[in-house]
Structure 1
Amino acid sequence: MKRLILCDFDGTISVRDMGYVLVNRFTSGNWEGIDQDFRDGKIGSREAYSRIAKILKGDQPTILRFIQEHSSIDPSFPVFYRYCREKGIDIKIVSDGLDFYIKKILEMHHLSEIPFYANCTQFREDEGIDVSFPHSEEECGLCGTCKKKLVQIHQKRYDSIFFVGNGLSDRCAAQEADFVFAKDSLYPYCIKKDITCHFFKDFQEILNDLKKQIHGIIFDLDGTLIESYEAIYLGLKECFQYLGKEIFPFQDLKTYLRADLEATLSQFFLPEEVLKGIPVMRKKYEKVYLNKTHFLDGAEEVLNTLHSDGVILGIASNKFGHFSRGVLTHLGVSDYFKSVIGAGDVARNKPFPDMIHAALKEMELPPEEAIFVGDTLTDIETGKQARVDAYGLPTGFHSKKELSQGKPKRLLKNLQELVRVAKNPLS
């Protein structure tokens, strides 16, 4: 399979947006006003560069020296690039920036062989510049370099195209690519548009994703695989009655649920009351939870498929361990799981990493060969604390938008997507 990675430059390979750095240093006019018009959508980057070219002044040697002194790249990019070369994955840079500083920065880091597409700059004798746009799309005319068009051109030559980016000029390309690695403003855009993407901080994370093989999946339980809100509410109601307080309406349950029972009750009761109320809630919950718990839509089928495919499965839930094991037995899937870790089984609950660490030990897997799937921001934080890729699932506690704020590795559209992802994480 012939693969290509098309990669943005400014703010992605280059740590700083060198276009902004240069105009801030070498323009004599109101470049901030031009930039504001661009950010407000009044003009595209092509028009912005045409205006900036009129107020940018500096001779080429001085500007190149400035670039050498003030530029830097993601330190993990050269390692990432070498890996891709070894694996036969082509890399090309697609930038809406200016060619001269991209060329200079690549030379500085011995990466001149990487092909790139960018807006072209001509230095004049009067210390001004002229900018031309050989890769623009005339029908649209907004961007100097139309990355969408470049993706489409390369689709004829490659079996799959990955796109790496971070900003406004990357949006159209992200919609065309087979898979996207996104950060900064591109990430929420992809989430909003339902574009499948992985969040990344640096190229080391993308390198890890390219190498990733999923041999095990650890699941949260409530809101991820099962729904037991009625049982939880009945337990809380018993607790509230015991402590002499009227409980909130059932429809407000999600508003008040927290990472664990103690945190939930602490919103309403003093610490000494919480200690008295916890056993009351658990006693009632134990009476009703089996008959008041059911699989979320598609969960049983997904577990059947993953188990049949040989994926090692585990549970990490803030539900008490014996409750977690009991409900899995009741639902007939306990044999699917090599590890079931709940509250009381380890020293600390989520978001501390103890549960994930314990599950991985029982599953006999290193962190890089597993993922953790959950429906809350607490789950995402737990995965990060345990150094396991966290996948958000908007089927329970939090919405898609809310989960995206935690920046999970991936935000699943539904549980069924896991069947495909387990076989190919970049699909």
Structure 2
Amino acid sequence: MGDSSFLSLPAMQTSPQSIVFTDWDGTVTLEDSNDFLTDNLGYGVERRKWLNQQVLEGKWTFRDSFMDMLQSINTPLPECIAYLKQHVKLDPGFLAFYTWCKSHNIPVIIVSSGMTPIIRALLEDLVGMDAALDIQIVSNDVAIDDAGKWKIVYRDDSPFGHDKSLAIKPYANLDPAVRPTLFYCGDGVSDLSAARETDLLFAKKGRDLVTYCERENIAYNVFDSFADIHKRVKAIVEDNSLTLEQAVAQKEIL
């Protein structure tokens, strides 16, 4: 692969040996901001959970179900963000993990089906401006009309609205001589497109991504918090006490 292709990938600028891709809502944060808005400012939890099940069963696309959820929210976007800042909390292990990654030249990339203005505002609030500027966000956008009504602007035309695999594949397809080890962390139905794309998948315990991986026979490591992910990634890339192959075969993080 030529230098131009290599250098066009932002996370490759420092020639890292590993890259961590992660979902945002319900993974880096304890609460899913979009679910939280739907449950409290939209049509509520019952239909939202029903739609998640429809996506898992292949009866609705994530794109259509997510649009359905967001259209039930009539609160202006600035008020939504202020509301989320009051309620959304950071996974207690994320900041320490990010700091360790930063010190070991391991880029952390947020790949989200959420919306950049919301993620950016919460990230600045939860981890600080320096970290927020350092962490690349690949997500959907928002359009606001003259009346203040907002709607999601999907990143692509896929059934996901944002096919997360498209953000990962350029790194996965690099020449083996320069290709980093790729990790992905996720929890829900928005992560289905990314589940097969990295070398090691972390799926949050008790969430829909675990259900999907079990059904589709996709290897994963189950985690409760980023402290678990930190422990396993460190064992692989720094301590050399665990090979990638061993990690893939060991679902539970001890």
Do both share a fold (TM > 0.5)? yes
2:162 aligned residue (137, 142, 145): 145
Aligned pairs for 1:152-301 (under 5 A) are 152-157=169-174, 158-183=179-204, 184-212=207-235
Task: Provide the rounded CA distance (Å) in 1 between the counterparts of 2:61 and 2:84.
Answer: 25
Task: Provide the rounded CA distance (Å) in 2 between the counterparts of 1:187 and 1:34.
Answer: 19
Q: Which structure has more RCO (C-alpha within 8 Å, separation ≥ 6)?
A: 2
Q: Tell me the equivalent position of 2:10.
A: none
Task: Provide the rounded CA distance (Å) in 2 between the counterparts of 1:195 and 1:13.
Answer: 22
Question: In the TM superposition, what whole-angstrom CA distance separates every residue of 1:326-346 from its partner, at most 9, and x where no partner exists?
Answer: xxxxxxxxxxxxxxxxxxxxx
SS of residue in 2 equivalent to 1:112: helix
Q: Does 1:8 align with 2:23?
A: yes
Task: Provide the rounded CA distance (Å) in 2 between the counterparts of 1:96 and 1:3.
Answer: 23
Give 1:76 deviation, angstroms. Answer: 1.3
Contact 1:45–1:144 at 8 Å: present in 2 too? yes
Q: Does 1:409 align with 2:226?
A: no
Q: Is the alpha carbon distance of 1:132 and 1:21 closer, same or farther for their aligned partners in structure 2, counting shifts above 3 Å?
A: same
Q: TM-score scaled by structure 2?
A: 0.75
1:36 aligned residue (36, 44, 50): 50
Q: TM-score scaled by structure 1?
A: 0.46
Task: Provide the rounded CA distance (Å) in 1 between the counterparts of 2:208 and 2:40.
Answer: 25
Contact 1:58–1:127 at 8 Å: present in 2 too? no
Q: Larger radius of gyration, structure 1 or 2?
A: 1
Q: Does 1:124 align with 2:106?
A: no
Q: Does 1:112 align with 2:132?
A: yes
Contact 1:53–1:129 at 8 Å: present in 2 too? no
In the alignment, structure 1 segments of 5+ residues that lack a partner are 214-368, 371-388, 393-406, 411-427
SS of residue in 1 equivalent to 2:196: helix
Please tell me the residue identity of whatever aligns with 2:21. Answer: L
Give 1:52 deviation, angstroms. Answer: 3.6
SS of residue in 2 equivalent to 1:9: coil
Question: In the TM superposition, what whole-angstrom CA distance separates every residue of 1:247-296 from its partner, at most 9, and x where no partner exists?
Answer: xxxxxxxxxxxxxxxxxxxxxxxxxxxxxxxxxxxxxxxxxxxxxxxxxx
Question: In the TM superposition, what whole-angstrom CA distance separates every residue of 1:295-338 from its partner, at most 9, and x where no partner exists?
Answer: xxxxxxxxxxxxxxxxxxxxxxxxxxxxxxxxxxxxxxxxxxxx
1:90 aligned residue (86, 107, 117): 107
Q: Is the alpha carbon distance of 1:103 and 1:194 closer, same or farther for their aligned partners in structure 2, counting shifts above 3 Å?
A: same
Contact 1:43–1:142 at 8 Å: present in 2 too? no
Q: Is the alpha carbon distance of 1:193 and 1:50 closer, same or farther for their aligned partners in structure 2, counting shifts above 3 Å?
A: closer
In the alignment, structure 2 segments of 5+ residues that lack a partner are 1-15
Task: Provide the rounded CA distance (Å) in 2 between the counterparts of 1:115 and 1:185.
Answer: 25
Contact 1:117–1:145 at 8 Å: present in 2 too? no
Give 1:181 deviation, angstroms. Answer: 1.2
Aligned pairs for 1:332-347 (under 5 A) are none
SS of residue in 1 equivalent to 2:31: coil
Contact 2:221–2:253 at 8 Å: present in 1 too? yes
SS of residue in 1 equivalent to 2:120: helix
Q: Tell me the equivalent position of 2:41.
A: 26
Contact 1:31–1:52 at 8 Å: present in 2 too? no
Contact 1:53–1:128 at 8 Å: present in 2 too? no
Contact 1:2–1:159 at 8 Å: present in 2 too? yes
Runs of 4+ in 1 over 6 A off after TM superposition: none
Please tell me the residue identity of whatever aligns with 1:10. Answer: D
Please tell me the residue identity of whatever aligns with 1:409. Answer: I
Please tell me the residue identity of whatever aligns with 2:208. Answer: S
Please tell me the residue identity of whatever aligns with 1:50. Answer: M
Please tell me the residue identity of whatever aligns with 1:90. Answer: P
> What is the count of residue pairs matched by the alignment?
218
Task: Provide the rounded CA distance (Å) in 2 between the counterparts of 1:62 and 1:194.
Answer: 42
Question: In the TM superposition, what whole-angstrom CA distance separates every residue of 1:189-241 from its partner, at most 9, and x where no partner exists?
Answer: 3344343322211111111112226xxxxxxxxxxxxxxxxxxxxxxxxxxxx
RMSD (Å), alpha carbons: 2.7
Q: Does 1:68 align with 2:85?
A: yes
Task: Provide the rounded CA distance (Å) in 2 between the counterparts of 1:55 and 1:64.
Answer: 16
Identity over aligned pairs, percent: 23
